[in-house]
Structure 1
Amino acid sequence: MQAVFRTKSLHGYAVEFSPYFAHRLACAASQYFGIAGSGAVLFLEITGDGQLVPLQCFPWSQGLYDVTWSEFNERVAVTGSADGSLQVWDVNANSQMPVNSMKEHTKEVAGVDWSKDRRTSLVLSASWDTTVKLWDITRNSSLVTFHDHNNIVYSAIWSPRIPGCFASTSGDTTLRIWDIRKPDSSTLVIHGHPTEILTCDWSKYDKNLIVTGASDCVVRGFDLRNPAMPVFELRGHEYAIRRLKCSPFNGNVLATCSYDFSVRIWDTSLQSSAVETVEHHTEFVCGLDFNLHIPGQMVDCSWDETVKVYLPASNYANR
C-alpha cells in the first residue's frame, strides 16, 4: 500500500520519520522549487487505514531545505532555511511561529542533523557559506563553527556509533570527518568523488563505514581505517544523487534518491545494479528516509509536490 500527501505548491526538499512514533513524519518544503518564495514544515501522520494526513503545517518566510527530529523530545523538530537560519518547532504549539530561531549563517542552511545522543540537544547545520555550526537549541548562538571546507557544505551527519563525531560533504569534492572536541580542523579528509558530494550517511552496523553520493551519479562506501580507495562503488543513477540513507535493519542495504526522478535500493554485498528502482515521481526526488519502527517502510518527497510512504515491491530492506 502507498500513502500519498500532496503539498500543494510546495516542493519537497527533505522528509524524516519520527524516531518516536512509527506513524509520524516531517517534511521541509519550499515554494518555487526553493529558488524564491516562502516555505513550510509539514507534520504528517499515517492513519489506521493507511492515509497520509496533515497534523500541523507551519509556514516560514523563506524556503526550508532540511528537517531533523529531536532525539529527546517527541514534539520537537528543527529546520534549516534559505535565509541562513534554523527554526525550532513544537508539533503541539498553538502559534504558527517557531519556539526559537537562530541565525548566524550568511547563506542557505542546506542540512541539519540532531545528535543521536539522547542526553543532548545538539544540532549540526551545514551551509552554503562553507561552514558547519554546532548548536545547543536552548541557546541563541552557536557553540562552535567548523571552517575547513572551501565550498558549499551540503550535509553534516552525526555518527550513530562514535560519540562527538560527524561527517560533512561539500562542493569542494571532499568528505570530512570531525571530532567536536577538536574543532580547529577535520580529523580526516577523503577525496571521494571528482565532483560535488551532495550527501552521506553512516552505516548503522559498522562504525567505520560511511557512504557518499555525488553529482557524478555514483555511490561510494569508505572504511575510515583505510579510506584511500572505496570499499564499494554503486552505479545506475542517471543524474546527481541528492540524498542517501543506510537501512536501520540491514547492514548491506541502503537507498538513494536522485534528480533522475527515481529512488534506488541497493545491496552493497552484491556491488551490482540496484536491486530495485522505484519510479513513482515526475520531478527531482530530494528527500528520503527509512522508518525506524516498521522494517522496510520508506518515505520520500519530490518537487512534484508529493510525499509518498510505501513498502518497496521487493521489500529488500526488510531482509
Structure 2
Amino acid sequence: MNRPPVSPPLVLQTPGFAHYSLSWSPFHNSRLAVASAANYGLVGNGRLHLALIGPAPGVAPGFSLDKFYDTQDGLYDVAWSEIHENQLVTGSGDGSIKLWDVMLNDLPIRAWQEHTREVFSVDWSNISKDIFLSSSWDGTVKIWSPERPRSVSTLQAHMSCVYQALFSPHQPDIIASCSTDGTLKIFDLRSPAYTQGPNANAFTNPLSAAALTVPASGTELLSIDWNKYRPFVLASAGVDKMIRVWDCRMVKSNPDPNQQAVGGVCETQFVGHEYAVRKVQWSPHHPDLLASASYDMTCRVWSTTPSPNGTNLVYIHDSHTEFVVGCAWSLYEEGVLASCSWDCRVNVFHI
C-alpha cells in the first residue's frame, strides 16, 4: 500500500520571540497557547501567544495569532486550566506565576511570587481540576489553588534545578519530577510524611520525602511524561540524548531504612537524537507512541512497538531551523502534533 503524501505543516511565525513551550486547550481543539521569550530567554521580555487553527477564506485550514500578552521576563511554560475554558497559567524567568483570562486584553487576573529562581514548568491536574503545580530552578515544586493567595504546599523535590514536574493522569496525589541531578522522583502526597497536623506548615517547612527515586541518567534530566494508558510508566530524556521508558512499579529495597526507595526498570530506550532532548510527551490516543523535541532541530515520533525492520522511529519532522524545545499532541485529533522552536515558529502537522 502506498503511503499518502504528507501535507506541509501549518506555520505560525512570531518575530522576535523564541518559543519555549506550547499547550493545546482541553476545551477547544483549535486553540493553542505558546510561552515565549525575547533574546532566546537569556534577557528581556516574555510573551504569551494565543493561536487559532481554522479555515482560511476559500482555502485550506489556516493558523493565525489571536492575541498576545507581554510580560516583564521570559515565559518558560504554559498550562491551560482544566476547570475554566478561558484561563491558563504561565511560569516565568523572574520566578513569578501568572493566571490569565483570554477574555481580557491586558493584565493577568492573579499573580504569585514565591519561587526564588526561574519557574521552568507548570502543570494543571486533570483529576483534581482545582489545583496546579509549578517547578523551579530553586529545587522546589509548589502546589497551588487559583483561589488562594499563596501556595497550598511546597515540596523540596531536589537539591538542584527541577526542570519539570507533573501530576499523574491516573492518581490525583502522585507527582513526578526530574532534575539536573539526573534523577526522576515520585512523590505520594498520601504518604504519612505528608500528613499535616495542626501545627504543620509546608509553606515554611517544605516536605522532601520521595516515595521513589529513579537514577535515570548520569547527566541532567530535562523532561518527563506519564504514559496516559499505563500507570507508573514514564518516559525521561535529557542531556545524554537518550529517551528512556521506565516502569516505576519495580522497586528495589533499600538496606538503609532512612533512605528513599530506589528503583524503576528501563523497559526500552530510543537512540537517534544528535543533541540533548528537551521535551518528551506520550500520545493521548495510543499507549505506544511518544513524541520528542531536541536541540538537533527535529521533532520525532517513536513507538515502543518496533516496526518489522526493528526500528522504533516512526517519523521525523525537520522543518525548524533552530532548537526545537517544545512539542504537544492534539487532545482531539489523532496524529496531529505541534512543535515550537527558537526559530520563532510554531508548526502543526500530521504524522
Output the TM-score relative to the length of structure 2: 0.86
Does 2:316 match 1:284?
no
Measure how far apart 1:228 and its partner are: 4.0
Structure 1: which 5+ runs fail to align?
A: 313-319
Q: How far apart in 2 are the matches of 1:67 and 1:195?
A: 26
Q: How far apart in 1 are the matches of 2:10 and 2:69?
A: 21
Alignment of 1:109-188 (within 5 A): 109-117=119-127, 119-181=128-190, 182=194, 183-188=207-212
Contact 1:111 1:156 in 2 (8 A): yes
Q: Runs of 4+ in structure 1 displaced over 2 angstroms?
A: 180-184
Aligned counterpart, 2:340: 301
Aligned partner letter, 1:291: S
1:104-131 CA distance string (max 9 Å, x none): 00100000000112x5321111101111
Aligned partner letter, 1:300: S
Q: Which has the larger radius of gyration?
A: 2
Q: How far apart in 1 are the matches of 2:135 and 2:264?
A: 25
Comparing 2-11 and 180-189, the one that deviates more: 180-189
Contact 1:235 1:272 in 2 (8 A): no
Q: How far apart in 2 are the matches of 1:131 and 1:278?
A: 34
Measure how far apart 1:273 and its partner are: 4.5
Does 2:5 match 1:5?
no
For 1:258, which of 285, 294, 297 is the aligned residue? Answer: 294
For 1:205, which of 214, 217, 229 is the aligned residue? Answer: 229
Structure 2: which 5+ runs fail to align?
A: 1-6, 195-206, 251-262
Aligned counterpart, 2:201: none
1:14-34 CA distance string (max 9 Å, x none): 011111111001000000000
Aligned residues: 310
Contact 2:281 2:328 in 1 (8 A): yes
Q: How far apart in 2 are the matches of 1:229 and 1:193?
A: 13
Comparing 226-235 and 28-37, the one that deviates more: 226-235
For 2:51, which of 44, 50, 62 is the aligned residue? Answer: 44
Aligned counterpart, 1:97: 107
Contact 2:248 2:265 in 1 (8 A): no
Contact 2:305 2:312 in 1 (8 A): no
Aligned counterpart, 1:61: 72
Over the residues paired in the alignment, what is the CA RMSD in angstroms?
Answer: 1.2
Q: How far apart in 2 are the matches of 1:93 and 1:137?
A: 17
Q: How far apart in 1 are the matches of 2:157 and 2:348?
A: 37
Q: Percent identity?
A: 37
Measure how far apart 1:148 and its partner are: 3.4
Q: How far apart in 1 are the matches of 2:96 and 2:212?
A: 28
Aligned counterpart, 1:267: 303
SS in 1 for 2:39: helix
Aligned counterpart, 2:238: 214
Q: How far apart in 2 are the matches of 1:170 and 1:41?
A: 25
